[in-house]
């Protein structure tokens, strides 16, 4: 048994398994846990569940997400103990930086500099496009959500599931598996375990996504009314796209995530794209498809990343410039 903080028994740089990740975490005395910018429930749920377990194990820990925007209010439902701090208050040089659901350094946003200032870093992720940016990584592209990897680490840490941990994990699991549409029996088994331990899906999902401001109805109608179908795009599979302007994106920034799924439902075997203008001529693009063409490849070529059926990228330019780039990459990935 090594003294606390000793690194004699720690795995070397490179890939680690859940037991190796747990050893690194247990040895740390000052941990900053982060998720990707504009966190979704997998990033936030993973980070909060891991940090909650570490704090209970006596490891000092802070959770944050790279700015510029504040964390969506709805994710507060996953953080009853108030572990999340604004990125401006995140420790400047933590002993250990842990990233959850982050595929590239760029996706750390304001907190990317911590890769240089932290003593070491550990990435826990499930993106095929993971770039290997951290000192150590627990990465499994076959995992349907990062929370499954976090669950395995929690087991190694000896953490008991309770309602706080279970809700955080369930939110990420449900969201990243499209409501258990994919992820198979492993996802369903973990879902059952989490429900048994106190994740109450109906109330939880209502807190996370089930309530919206009334004004969103008209705003959403306007976004959907502007949708366009391009049947010959993506090598003939078709593209349905819509755009959210800056004013709508600013006012309804927590609401827009579900729109791309509505577009996809009308795209047949084709592709859906939601272009959200986050700032003047700055765009965040969400792509959804059916696995072919490989949207991870398309998004990576445009500076982003993701999975075959769900990917995204951020880029500046006019809407038409972005669409032209997107059409070209969709065609080449469909070829």
Strands (E), the chain: 14-15, 31-35, 61-65, 96-100, 120-125, 136-139, 228-230, 239-244, 271-279, 282-288, 305-306, 310-316
The residue behind tokens 């391009």 is 230
Q: Per CB under 6 A, which region of 136-144, 207-215, 263-271, 305-313 contacts ligand AMP?
A: 305-313
Q: Which does 306 bind (CB under 5 to 8 A by kind): Mn ion, ligand AMP, none?
A: ligand AMP
Q: Per CB under 6 A, which region of 26-34, 131-139, 151-159, 311-319 contacts ligand AMP?
A: 311-319
Q: Does residue 66 bind ligand AMP (CB under 6 A)? A: no
Each residue 26-65 as x (binds ligand AMP by CB under 6 A) or -, in order, gives: ----------x---x-------------------------
In residues, how long is the chain? 335
Out of 79, 176, 277, 329, the residue judged to bind Mn ion by CB under 5 A: 176
Q: Does residue 304 bind ligand AMP (CB under 6 A)? A: yes
Inter-residue long-range contacts of 82-88, CB under 8 Å, 24+ positions, other chains counted: 83/48, 83/51, 83/52, 83/55, 84/44, 84/48, 87/111
Q: Which of these, 77, 21, 74, lies nearest to 50 by C-alpha position?
A: 21
Out of 24, 34, 105, 310, the residue judged to bind ligand AMP by CB under 6 A: 310
Question: Contact at 8 Å (CB) between 197 and 167?
Answer: no
Q: What six digits make up the tokens of 139?
A: 């990465």
Peptide bond into 68 cis (omega under 30): yes
Out of 16, 38, 40, 175, the residue judged to bind Mn ion by CB under 5 A: 40
Q: How far is CA 149 from the centre of its chain?
A: 13
Give me the least distance between CB of 142 and ligand AMP, in Å please.
14
Q: Per CB under 6 A, which region of 132-140, 149-157, 226-234, 306-314 contacts ligand AMP?
A: 306-314
Out of 34, 42, 134, 284, the residue judged to bind Mn ion by CB under 5 A: 42
Q: Per CB under 5 A, which region of 10-18, 72-80, 93-101, 270-278 contacts Mn ion?
A: 93-101
Q: Does residue 297 bind ligand AMP (CB under 6 A)? A: no
Q: What six digits make up the tokens of 62?
A: 């802070």
Contacts with ligand AMP, residue ranges (CB under 6 A): 36, 40, 103-104, 107, 286, 304-307, 310-314
């Amino acid at each position: 048994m090594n003294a606390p903080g000793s690194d004699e028994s720690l795995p070397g740089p490179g890939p680690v398994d859940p037991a190796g990740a747990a050893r690194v975490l247990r040895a740390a005395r000052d941990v900053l846990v982060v998720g990707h910018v504009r966190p979704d429930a997998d990033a936030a749920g993973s980070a909060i569940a891991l940090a909650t377990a570490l704090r209970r194990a006596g490891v000092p820990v802070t959770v944050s997400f790279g700015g510029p925007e504040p964390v969506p209010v709805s994710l507060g439902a996953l953080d009853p103990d108030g572990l999340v701090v604004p990125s401006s208050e995140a420790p400047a040089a933590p002993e250990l930086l842990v990233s959850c659901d982050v595929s590239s350094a760029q996706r750390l946003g304001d907190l990317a500099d911590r890769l240089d200032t932290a003593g070491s870093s550990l990435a826990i992720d499930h993106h095929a496009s993971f770039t290997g940016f951290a000192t150590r990584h627990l990465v499994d592209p076959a995992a349907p959500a990062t929370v499954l990897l976090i669950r395995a680490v929690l087991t190694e840490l000896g953490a008991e599931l309770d309602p706080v941990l279970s809700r955080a994990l369930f939110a990420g699991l449900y969201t990243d598996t499209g409501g258990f549409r994919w992820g198979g029996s492993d996802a369903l088994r973990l879902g059952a375990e989490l429900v048994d331990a106190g994740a109450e899906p109906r109330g939880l999902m209502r807190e996370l996504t089930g309530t919206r401001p009334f004004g969103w109805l008209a705003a959403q109608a306007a976004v959907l009314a502007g949708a366009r179908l391009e049947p010959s795009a993506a090598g003939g599979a078709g593209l349905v796209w819509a755009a959210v302007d800056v004013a709508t994106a600013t006012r309804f920034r927590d609401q827009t995530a579900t729109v791309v799924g509505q577009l996809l439902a009308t795209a047949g075997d084709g592709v859906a794209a939601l272009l959200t203008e986050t700032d003047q001529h700055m765009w965040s693009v969400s792509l959804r498809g059916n696995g072919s063409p490989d949207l991870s490849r398309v998004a990576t070529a445009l500076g982003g990343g993701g999975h075959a059926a769900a990917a995204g990228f951020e880029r500046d330019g006019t809407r038409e410039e972005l669409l032209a780039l997107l059409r070209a990459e969709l065609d080449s990935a469909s070829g």
